[in-house]
Amino acid sequence: MQNLKDNKMTPLVSVLCQAYNHGEFIEQCLKGIMMQETSFSFEVLVHDDASTDNTADIIKKFELQYPEIIKPIYQTENQFSQKKKVFSRIQLPRAKGKYIAICEGDDYWTDPLKLQKQVDFLEANPDYVICYHDVKAINEEGSVIMESKIGNENQRDFSSEELSYNRPFIMPLSVVFRNLSIIWPEETKYVLNFDTFLFSILGQYGNGKYINDIQPANYRHHSGGIWSAITNQQKTIAHITTFYWIYQYYFRIGDTNRAQSYLKIMLDLVLKIDNSLKLPVIQAESKIPDVSQNSIMSLIKIIIKKICNKIKKD
| Closest alpha carbon to 264 in 237, 238, 291 | 291
pLDDT over threshold 90, residue 175: yes
Least confident of 25-34, 40-49, 214-223, 263-272: 263-272
Q: What pLDDT sits at residue 82?
A: 87
pLDDT reported for residue 147: 96
For residue 36, pLDDT over 90 is answered with yes
Given a cut of 50, is residue 143 above it in pLDDT?
Answer: yes
Q: How confident is the model at residue 131 (pLDDT cuts 50, 70, 90)?
A: very high
Please determine, for residue 291, whether its predicted confidence score (pLDDT) is greater than 90: no
Please give the residue that has the higher pLDDT: either 45 or 83: 45
Percent of the chain with pLDDT over 70: 82
- pLDDT score of 282: 39
145-157: pLDDT as tens digits: 999 999 999 999 9
Whether the pLDDT of residue 292 is over 80: the answer is no
Task: State mean pLDDT over 46-74.
Answer: 97
pLDDT at 117 over 50: yes
What CA–CA distance (Å, rounded) separates 149 from 202? 21
Order across the sheet with 207-210: list the strands: 70-74, 42-48, 13-19, 99-102, 176-178, 128-132, 207-210
Checking if the pLDDT of 269 tops 90, the result is no
The alpha carbon torsion through 243, 245, 248, 254 (nearest 10 deg) reads: -80
Measured distance between the N- and C-terminal CA atoms of the chain, rounded to whole angstroms: 54
What pTM value is reported for the model? 0.86
- Mean pLDDT over each residue of the chain, to the nearest integer: 86
Task: Collect all residues with Cβ–Cβ distance below 8 Å to 13 and sequence separation of at least 6.
Answer: 38, 40, 42, 43, 97, 98, 99, 100, 101, 115, 119, 176
Q: How confident is the model at residue 239 (pLDDT cuts 50, 70, 90)?
A: confident
- Strands 135-138 and 70-74, sheet pairing: unpaired
Sequence-ordered list of residues with C-beta below 8 angstroms from that of 297, at least 6 positions apart, any chain: none
CA distances for 230 relative to 65, 105, 226, 237, 273, angstroms: 36, 18, 7, 11, 16
Question: What is the rounded average pLDDT of the residues 280-307?
Answer: 50
The one-letter code for the residue type at 188 is T
